[in-house]
């Protein structure tokens, strides 16, 4: 494990659900401090790739490396699973995921939601965690909502609380799975602003998004997935300004017309 190794590297990844092959030999690299966006139509494999990277889904073939350390596997094909539970736990605590649905605990205040994992999973001192949690809630613009419950917040505020919760784990990388798609356009911009500020700080992020402007604005590298393969990839100016493949041109034309 070295500072020069990519935070996440994936090589020749295959993933099936039963007989349905969702990822068909995908490779990607997320260097430290880079934002990698995954775009493509629904069903192209974007979210599955993100969940495999975070070990929420088992893959059938290929390698996943975290900071140069390969995941250890046992078994083959659909019987393949991570071999070292301690390794999985350690890596997951360093890859914080922000989902489309906010997944906040309804019975806890926003502050308690943000504090829960650092206290219970990482075993950090409650006083220290509370101070950090308040800082992160301030950072995402809802420092005044610490004592509120999720039901008392708008969707945009709840998603910002979910981002603060992810930051509180102080992860090596943030993984966003369509973080704005459940929000109306006005609330979406609240979350976009936070994601842009995190990108400007040089945080490592993997971002699955339907928002092409967001992908263009924050990404160092963009992957366009089509039917389980990376059809095209490159810097955002190149991908959005001069797409090489017909499939990407059609996708961008469809998205812009929507």
Q: Which of 24-28, 104-108, 140-144, 183-187 has the lowest mean pLDDT?
A: 183-187
Which residues, 6 or more positions from 16, have their beta carbon under 8 angstroms from its beta carbon? 22, 60, 78
In a domain, 99, yes or no: no
108/88 same-domain check = no
How distant, in Å, are the alpha carbons of 30, 37, 134, 209 from that of 174? 11, 12, 19, 14
- Look at the pTM and tell me if it is higher than 0.85: yes
88/206 same-domain check = yes
165/181 same-domain check = no
pLDDT in tens, 101-138: 888 999 999 999 999 999 999 999 999 999 999 999 99
194/74 same-domain check = yes
Last residue in a domain, options 140, 170, 200: 170
Q: What are phi and psi of 58, to 5 degrees?
A: -85, 140
């Amino acid at each position: 494990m070295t500072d020069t190794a990519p935070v996440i590297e994936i090589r020749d990844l295959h993933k099936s659900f039963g007989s349905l092959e969702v990822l068909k030999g995908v490779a990607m690299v997320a260097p430290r401090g880079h934002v990698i966006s995954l775009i493509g139509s629904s069903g192209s494999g974007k979210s599955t790739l993100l969940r495999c990277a975070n070990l929420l889904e088992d893959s059938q073939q290929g390698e996943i490396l975290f900071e140069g350390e390969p995941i250890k596997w046992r078994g083959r094909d659909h019987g393949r699973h991570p071999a070292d539970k301690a390794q999985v736990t350690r890596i997951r605590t360093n890859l914080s995921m922000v989902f489309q649905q906010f997944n906040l605990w309804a019975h806890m205040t926003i502050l308690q939601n943000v504090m829960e994992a650092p206290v219970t999973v990482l075993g950090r001192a409650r006083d220290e965690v509370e101070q950090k949690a308040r800082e992160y809630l301030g950072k995402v613009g809802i420092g005044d909502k610490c004592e509120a419950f999720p039901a008392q917040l708008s969707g945009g505020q709840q998603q910002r609380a979910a981002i603060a919760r992810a930051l509180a784990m102080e992860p090596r990388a943030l993984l966003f799975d369509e973080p704005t798609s459940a929000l109306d356009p006005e609330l979406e911009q609240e979350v976009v602003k936070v994601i842009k500020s995190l990108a400007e700080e040089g945080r490592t992020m993997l971002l699955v998004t339907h928002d092409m402007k967001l992908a263009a604005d924050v990404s160092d590298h963009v992957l366009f997935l089509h039917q389980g393969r990376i059809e095209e990839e490159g810097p955002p100016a190149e991908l959005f300004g001069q797409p090489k493949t017909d499939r990407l041109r059609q996708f961008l034309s469809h998205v812009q017309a929507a």
